[in-house]
Amino acid sequence: MRGHGGALDVRSAAGEGTRFFLLFPAADKVAPTREQAPVKPWRGSGTVLVVDDEASALKVAGRMLQTAGFDVITAKDGVEAIEVFREREKEIDLVLLDLSMPRLDGRETFEVLREIRSDVRVLFSSGYTEQDVVGGARGTNTAQFIQKPYTLAQLTEKVRLALGE
């Protein structure tokens, strides 16, 4: 909650139970109205390696990227991602890389991928804020960050940036 600018307040009293209060900051943006003209979605091409230890995240991100015109390869953790990248590095244009994974986290995976191909383009993803998780890896010109959960429009915009378009 703190990472999103909110707070959690817990109040408990014997014999009365416990209350949890989730406090969220006010939204900076106004929700789009129906009067706004729809924006034509951007379509890309190429191959994206999606790396995430959550099966549902792999599935959703893969479908979003396919909708945006990309071929998708998936890996369930950093170790598998490195194996796939070694085998198919020439065809992979971008790696969508979760930061919190077992065995090998996103930062460690990124460092190995850069050893294999120094110009590898990476889009880090996490449920935490960028300031909380990315650290020095974000300082390269080949890495971007997107916070989960994200929409198709947010993902395609970040993919465009990560690919340098």
Instruction: For residue range 138-152, list pLDDT tens digits in order.
Output: 445 568 899 999 999
Domain map (residue ranges) of the chain = 47-162
pLDDT of 135 above 50: yes
pLDDT band at 64 (very low <50, low <70, confident <90, very high): very high
pLDDT of 33 above 80: no
Model pLDDT, residue 58: 94
Instruction: Output the CATH code of domain 47-162.
Output: 3.40.50.2300
Q: Give pLDDT tens digits for 77-107.
A: 999 999 999 999 999 999 999 998 988 999 9
Which of 5-9, 72-76, 124-128 ranks highest by mean pLDDT?
Answer: 72-76
Distance CA(149)–CA(154), nearest Å, equals 10
Distance CA(164)–CA(162), nearest Å, equals 5
The secondary structure element, H or E, covering residue 51 is strand 47-51
Mean of the pLDDT values across residues 61-69?
96
Distance CA(140)–CA(121), nearest Å, equals 10
Model pLDDT, residue 31: 64
The pTM assigned to this predicted structure is 0.74
The DSSP call for residue 88 is H
Model pLDDT, residue 10: 86
